Amino acid sequence: MALLKVSNVGPIKNTDSINGEFIRFEGLTVFIGDQGTGKSTLAKLFSTLSWIEKALFREDFTPKYISQYKRFQKQLEFQNIDQYLKPNSYIEYVGDAFTIKYDNGKVKIKPIDNKKAKPYDFPKIMYVPAERNFVSTIDRPDLIKRLPMTIFSFLEEYEYAKRTLKGTIQLPIHGVTFEYRKQNKKSWIIGEDYSGEPYKLDLLAASSGFQSLVPMYLVTESLSKIISEKGNTAKDDLTYDRAKKFNEELERILANSKLDEDAKQILIERKLRTINYTSFVNIVEEPEQNLFPTSQKKILYALFRNTNKNINNKLILTTHSPYIINYLTLAIKAFSLKENLSDDQLNQLNNIVPLDAALNPNKVAVYQINNEGLVEELESYKGLPSDENYLNELLGDFNDDFVELLKLEEL
């Protein structure tokens, strides 16, 4: 489990209201709040810090290197949040391999004692930006100049997912399938219209909901599959120099006469963990984007299903949608029910919430950020998120406003 504590970064004032003052990232973490309150700031900070930890573990650079000459701040440029730092900004990240602390402009990084920490799960980290429909609406987005790095990184994974797709893939809504033709690099959605007539439509001409859903879904399915498959490898992420360095380090370990065979085995296993993915960290902004409520439910359960494929996977969501919290509640409730049901009852439950999308409440945390930038954890009852959250309160405000209109009508 990773932990994050933040003060005075962008719109975030602090996380002091949280019990323990740290945001927990284990299983599913959800951020809700108004626009500009800092949901994405927290998601982007976690994305950057977990990537730095991964690079430190892989020995791409040393703690001393990343701590000097504002190199840490430079890493925040990838997510365009480097300007969010202030003179009194404080960031503390506790991972499985390293702790990273930013305080008064200074960075301190310490390795975690291997004897006290669990083995580091080498992650594939993916940030799915809210602007993802861009990659569906432009014929050749790779030719666009000054493309933000988050979009460029996501585009690379999206292109890989399409190239490696065999045949078609069933999308989680409306019985529609997706097809990619490598010959002409065309993306198609295939289904039936309201009258039962079949259609095949270029994704460029499809609705905004499909343009937003398809890239997110394909990338999630592709990466979760890579992690689930035995023998998956991160070698493709290595440059020639890094691959050469990796092989040289293995040779030095094997040739070291001062090490016994057990010590060599431990060192080799640690090195191998730097090229074999053992977890998938999926960070998704606004999964509900441009989607009808029932479609929000289906894509959400698809995200949950992929997270559940590996015990070490993590899913981080930012959302404005009250439906997301409600469907999350159903997934948690399904988890508590499924152990005590008959086969017939399990089938009924599966029709409501797919069994492979049910969520362990002990691995779910929901945080809400108010307009003052204060972060608090949403309370729960028997693992279920409280109804007293900002999104539900807004629905209540609607009812109150409607009552006031009815009163005016009676005058």
The predicted-structure confidence for 16-62, as pLDDT tens digits, reads as follows: 989 888 999 999 999 999 989 999 999 999 999 999 999 998 888 89
Given a contact cutoff of 8 angstroms between Cβ atoms, the answer to whether 92 and 100 are in contact is yes
pLDDT of residue 197: 92
pLDDT above 70 coverage of the chain, percent = 88
User: How far does CA 8 lie from the centroid of its chain?
Assistant: 23
Digit-coded pLDDT (tens) for 81-127: 999 999 999 999 999 999 999 998 999 999 987 666 677 888 999 99
The helix (H) or strand (E) run that includes residue 4 is: strand 2-9
Most confident of 78-82, 230-234, 403-407: 78-82
Average pLDDT over residues 264-279: 69
Res 142 pLDDT > 80? no
**Contacts of 254 by beta carbon, 8 Å cutoff, 6+ apart:** 264, 268
Given a contact cutoff of 8 angstroms between Cβ atoms, the answer to whether 385 and 24 are in contact is no
The residue among 372 and 227 whose pLDDT is bigger is 372
Range name among 83-87, 330-334, 338-342 with the lowest pLDDT average = 338-342
pLDDT of residue 406: 78
Measured over the CA atoms of residue 244, residue 246, residue 249 and residue 250, the dihedral's sign is negative
Could you identify the residue written with the tokens 């730097």? 274
Res 315 pLDDT > 80? yes
pLDDT of residue 240: 54
Distance (Å, whole) CA 217 – CA 224: 11
Phi-psi region of 75 (alpha: psi -120 to 50; beta: other; left: phi over 0): alpha
Given a contact cutoff of 8 angstroms between Cβ atoms, the answer to whether 271 and 250 are in contact is yes
Digit-coded pLDDT (tens) for 146-195: 777 888 889 989 999 999 998 899 999 988 999 999 888 899 999 998 88
For the chain, give every domain's residue range: 2-129+276-407, 239-274
CATH number of 2-129+276-407: 3.40.50.300
Burial (CB < 10 A; 0-12, 13-18, 19+), residue 396, is exposed
Could you identify the residue written with the tokens 């508590």? 336
Res 303 pLDDT > 90? yes
The radius of gyration computed from the CA coordinates of the chain, to the nearest angstrom, equals 23
Burial (CB < 10 A; 0-12, 13-18, 19+), residue 306, is buried
Q: What are phi and psi of 70, to 5 degrees?
A: 55, 30
Q: DSSP for 104-168?
A: TTEEEEEEPPTTTSPPP--EEEEEE-GGGGHHHHSS-GGG-TT--HHHHHHHHHHHHHHHT--SE
What mean pLDDT is reported for the chain?
Answer: 87
Digit-coded pLDDT (tens) for 218-268: 999 999 988 877 545 554 455 556 666 666 776 777 778 877 776 767 666
pLDDT of residue 31: 96
Neighbours of 60 (CB within 10 A): 16
Res 203 pLDDT > 60? yes
Res 313 pLDDT > 70? yes
Given a contact cutoff of 8 angstroms between Cβ atoms, the answer to whether 185 and 120 are in contact is no
